[in-house]
Amino acid sequence: MRLTIGLMLLFVGGAVMLYGIGTALHEFVGLYQGAVDNAMGMKANAEQDASKAMIRAVIIGGCGVPLFVAGSVMLKITVMQRIMGRKAVSRRAR
């Protein structure tokens, strides 16, 4: 059960982080593409708008970090307990 919850937290946290990173990069690429295609036709505050959108995306991605960390810690604890349990059982058999 703990393994399943750990995996779910790990994947959900990773997905949220990847979404935030992807959104921030999309805004950056859009700003660069606008500057390359039509530099004179860009809005005067395009950089500020892109900056705000990128900060918002980083905050969204940052919300996935605690889930990712909690999932990885749960998985690590579960795996270590299973390894230690197997070692204890093999010592008893001797």
Name the nearest CA neighbour of 67 among 3, 10, 24: 10
Q: What is the pLDDT of residue 61?
A: 96
pLDDT single digits (tens) 29-85: 998 888 888 878 888 888 899 999 999 999 999 999 999 999 999 999 999 998 888
d(CA 47, CA 36): 14
The tally of domains found in the chain comes to: 1
d(CA 53, CA 50): 5
Domain region containing 22? 2-93
